[in-house]
A = this chain, B = another copy of it.
């Protein structure tokens, strides 16, 4: 059994509140007995929920936080009202102080990112953080980043995303040299966005030991699983992620409508149920719940706001994988290799030349 891993939880985040968070922590603990928790939130609500689960209570500490960031607070509002004293802030700050290895919150994404940036700051050499999502593919899973932290990214930032995403792929998938693709469009007359082309040249020239750059990938390549890491800027990445989720839901709905039409189709469904369950499991957003904030001095994981206990437990288990493999150190290491290779400087020069 690995040594204990401490995760800080924003007990008040998410649509379902502390009941869901505490139930999720209990579920994760059943599967990962090395976990310990610090839960931040309204003590009067959270403490009894934890106390009701003796096994969880034995490895948890509840810390009172008087302010709750609401799901519809604007990031600026949340920062004004919740800095230092909200459950969200305190959960992030526990990573900064070293009390916890990773923070998990199902709270509002904008507020969480604003607070994480403010509290943890970006890593040396990184201008902008990214949100990485885990994407189910035909061959397993891939990491896609950025899925919405920032709009637009220059070539250097895309390369940073490639290095950070690869560090995450090594942590989560255990591959030595993750295959990395740059998301682009293949329509012939459009040669691809300038930043993407330049990032491709930089990655090819750098020939990093941490990752294998395989070239451009298109939207339909993501699910094929031909790469471990898909790099893109946040606008296109967010749209790709949401579109895939929407398409999966849409197909599920067509299938359900088709099945419920006659007794024959309903019977067929019962017989073929294992096939449907397999599909459901593969596409279950709860299994791959958790957007990972990369590029900060500490890892914060955003669970879906609408997650149930099962989904939240997945996000906690993802946090555990990150902690176990010391993701932050791996990213620092990867960036150091890249910068030592001198390509970051070469890149800025090349960029200036192109302007």
Contacts and interface: CB of A to CB of B under 8 A. Distances in A.
Interface of A: 74-75, 108-111, 113-114, 131, 136-138, 148-152, 183, 185-190, 192-193, 218-224, 232, 234-236, 238-251, 253-255, 257-259, 261-262, 264-279, 282-283
Contact of A243 (B137, B240, B255): B240
A311 to B, nearest CB: 17
A69 to B, nearest CB: 11
Contact of A268 (B271, B282, B283): B271
Contacts of A278: 254, 257-258
Given A189-B114, A219-B241, A258 B276 contact: yes
B250 A137 contact: yes
Given A236-B235, A248-B247, A242 B254 contact: no
Given A186-B238, A220-B245, A254-B282, 13 more contacts: A110-B187, A113-B189, A148-B185, A151-B193, A185-B235, A185-B238, A219-B241, A220-B242, A221-B246, A223-B246, A247-B247, A265-B271, A271-B271
A259 to B, nearest CB: 5
Nearest to A150: B190
B224 A246 contact: yes
A111 B188 contact: yes
The 10 nearest A-B residue pairs measured at CB: A110-B188, A268-B272, A219-B242, A268-B271, A258-B275, A220-B246, A110-B189, A219-B243, A258-B278, A148-B187
